[in-house]
Chains A and B, each alone.
Chain A
Amino acid sequence: MMLTLLLTPALFMFLVSFLRNENAKYLLALSSFVILFPIVDLFTFVKPYAILGTYLVADKLDTYVLLVSSIVGIGVTLALFTMDKHVTVSPKAYRKFYRFFAIFWIGLIFSILSNHMGIYWIGLELATLSTVYMIKTNHTPAAHKEAWNYMIVGAIAVSLILFGIILMYASAKPILGEEAMQFDLLLKHAKEIPSPFLFEIGFAIATIGMFVKMGFFPMNLWLANIERSSFYPVAALFSGILESAVVIGFFRFSQIAMEVNYNNLFIFVFIYTILTIFIVSFLIYRAKDFMRLFSLSGIEHMALIVLFWVSGSPFAALLHFGAHAFLKPALFLSTGVLETNGKFKMAGALRGYTGKRGKIFLFLVSLFLLAIISLPPSPMFFSELYGFGAMINTAKGSDHMLGMIGAVLFLLILLSIIFYRFVSIYQSMRYEGEARSRKVYAGELFALILFAVSLVALMLPNTLHYLKTVI
């Protein structure tokens, strides 16, 4: 029953996308809103709640991720209403966008709620393939090229994940049989896996696949190029929803890998993420347009989420994850106004906003820009405090305390480079360049307000308590 409720809005959206009626866009938007209701209803059930036998199980973690994703989906839908005011998009492309958005949702629901490595992969692959066409809705040669690039690199990344899953499955099959695909059973029997080395190899390969999908080292620029060439709501979907589906997979796999051998997992992820942030910080320093800037910053934050998670602070990771999932789509949607008709100049981008809408837009974008660099009272400020605290605690208990503290300090230096660059860009946007008159429409403004309210809701005591009790 619950699965039907979860899937119905997406199926409805898929069917409505074939209607050529002008009013269909309201029905499409409505279907995106309705997705929220069954997800909110999921919170009322005792966890873990079996949605489809042992295959799809709702626990506190996936319900939270699903809620965040559905709010981002609604925000993107609101911005889609006025997308045609900023970019040229045909009604046919608009409907096709929703058609693949519906498939994307179905893939995500399976992927996020799965308690089964195979179903997780199938959902992720479905979501990945559906986003390929979303990139193509922008009818430019650059978007066409990047759609193919995404298809090929995305397919390789997802193939690596499947490769890892097969090895992990092979490692546990002697004791669990076909049930070795289930996350909960793997976690329960992690210490009994007869070939831990095989499991770790599988985990490392799957992790590299997930990291490639999130734009980690050595694939730092592919995601940025894709987001640059596609319409801005696609970039918002990538950063707010698709990456959530990837990162929840990492959470699930790493929980088991922590039980198998925590030290190996930690060292592998720690080195990988620091290397990623090292490269990304310099790429951010050189970024010349908003899309690439926000995209690269997204990679930095995903790396931090992963790092906080393996450092033993799921609370910090989940808080950071939620804040990033709201802030980054908000910033990507703002680029619709900041870069109207593809013209982008950072200097003066926050000047020339008049009227009530313009002033609210200016306030919200300034707020988001400063929140993304973790200025208090941004939720990211608190998540980083907790996250770095956890890293220091892990360092204290390690055999290489000095080396690890040094690595943490190095990480802080890299983050300060990013901080400096963002502040410099903000000042340039606010105080330099020419003030050009820009129009802000109700759709994108409501989307930004929704994200701002969601960010505030993230800091409520009840939400924080929920996040503390997820694991």
Chain B
Amino acid sequence: MVDFLIGLFLASLIAALFTTRLYGLLFWYSMNSLMLGLLALGIGINIDDKAMLLTGVVTILIKAIGIPYVLKNLSHKFNFARQIVSGIKMQYSIMLVPIILVFTFYLSVPIVDMIHTNANYVAISISSLFLSLLLIMEHSDVVPKIIGFLALENSLFLLGTTATNGMPMLVELGIFFDLLMAIVVINLLFHKEEMKI
């Protein structure tokens, strides 16, 4: 089950990379967060960790539902262009994704040998991290960059969940708080005219 969810986590991130519609991007981010939340719930049940269960529920509520909803509202408010154009041509992106996946699996071999629990998941977390960076880089519009940043945060969360069987509860709640703060700042930064950086 955990393998299946982690596969869907990666798949939703790859789908986000190829989407050319704003709402599509928000949907795939929401799916990505949902898989992360379900994964935390799954691991939490397996190791009987209540903090992990709580983290899973909060992830689903904030990241899978709350943040996409807020961003969709903002896109209505400021009339964002629904079409998002990638700076990297589709055919190159198609080649880049498997290259990143293979490269990160080799890159993480020495680390994987040292982490005995969920070792392959660590490699997938690092791949997701690189894919999120690619999402940030390939777009010049602000919203895809924000989604890239949020996906980056999801990848780190996945790494924390898989490499360490969950970070301390205090830290995870703090990260959620910072994420909410980021959304507040993003909201304040939106300006009707200049949406390209």
Chain A residues in contact with chain B, CB under 8 A?
A: 55, 103, 116, 118-119, 121-122, 125-126, 129-130, 132-133, 136, 141, 144-145, 147-149, 151-152, 155-156, 159, 162-163, 166-167, 169-171, 173, 178, 181, 194-195, 197-198, 201
Interface of chain A, main secondary structure: helix
Q: Which residues of B contact A148 (CB under 8 A)?
A: 142, 145, 189, 197
CB-based contact B145/A119 at 8 Å: no
| B177 located at the interface, meaning its Cβ lies under 8 Å from any Cβ of chain A in the complex | yes
Count of residues in B whose CB is under 8 Å from the partner chain: 34
B105 to chain A minimum Cβ distance, whole angstroms, is: 16
CB-based contact B156/A129 at 8 Å: no
- 1/0 per residue B27-50: CB within 8 Å of A? 000000000000000000000000
A171–B178 Cα gap in the complex (Å)? 25
A151–B170 Cα gap in the complex (Å)? 24
| B186 located at the interface, meaning its Cβ lies under 8 Å from any Cβ of chain A in the complex | yes
CB-based contact A155/B168 at 8 Å: no
| B8 located at the interface, meaning its Cβ lies under 8 Å from any Cβ of chain A in the complex | no
Q: Which residues of A contact B191 (CB under 8 A)?
A: 144
CB-based contact B114/A195 at 8 Å: yes
19 more A-B residue pairs beyond the given contacts A55-B170, A103-B181, A122-B177, with a C-beta to C-beta distance below 8 A: A118-B170, A118-B171, A119-B174, A125-B178, A126-B177, A129-B178, A130-B181, A132-B185, A148-B189, A152-B136, A156-B136, A159-B153, A159-B156, A166-B159, A166-B160, A166-B163, A166-B167, A171-B114, A198-B115
A175 to chain B minimum Cβ distance, whole angstroms, is: 13
A-B contact pairs, 9 of them (CB 8 A): A122-B175, A132-B189, A148-B145, A152-B136, A152-B145, A156-B133, A162-B156, A163-B156, A167-B163
**Beta-carbon contacts under 8 Å, B146-197 to A:** 149, 152-153, 156, 159-160, 163-164, 167-168, 170-171, 174-175, 177-178, 181-182, 185-186, 188-189, 191, 194, 197
Q: Which residues of A contact B152 (CB under 8 A)?
A: 155-156, 159
CB-based contact B185/A133 at 8 Å: yes
B112 to chain A minimum Cβ distance, whole angstroms, is: 10
Q: Which among A103, A133, A178, A197 has the greatest number of chain B C-beta atoms within 10 A?
A: A178
B175 to chain A minimum Cβ distance, whole angstroms, is: 7
A358–B194 Cα gap in the complex (Å)? 40
CB-based contact B114/A198 at 8 Å: yes
**Which A-B residue pairs are the 4 nearest by beta carbons?**
A118-B171, A122-B174, A195-B114, A125-B178
| B129 located at the interface, meaning its Cβ lies under 8 Å from any Cβ of chain A in the complex | yes
CB-based contact A151/B174 at 8 Å: no
CB-based contact A201/B164 at 8 Å: no
Q: Which residues of B contact A173 (CB under 8 A)?
A: 164
B74 to chain A minimum Cβ distance, whole angstroms, is: 14
Q: Which residues of B contact A166 (CB under 8 A)?
A: 156, 159-160, 163-164, 167
A156–B149 Cα gap in the complex (Å)? 7
A230–B136 Cα gap in the complex (Å)? 24
Closest chain A residue, CB of each to CB of B173: A122
| B111 located at the interface, meaning its Cβ lies under 8 Å from any Cβ of chain A in the complex | yes
Closest chain A residue, CB of each to CB of B196: A145
CB-based contact A147/B189 at 8 Å: yes
A123 to chain B minimum Cβ distance, whole angstroms, is: 9
Q: Which residues of A contact B136 (CB under 8 A)?
A: 152, 156
**Beta-carbon contacts under 8 Å, B18-76 to A:** none
Contact of B115 among A121, A147, A163, A170 (CB under 8 A): A170
Q: Which residues of B contact A103 (CB under 8 A)?
A: 181
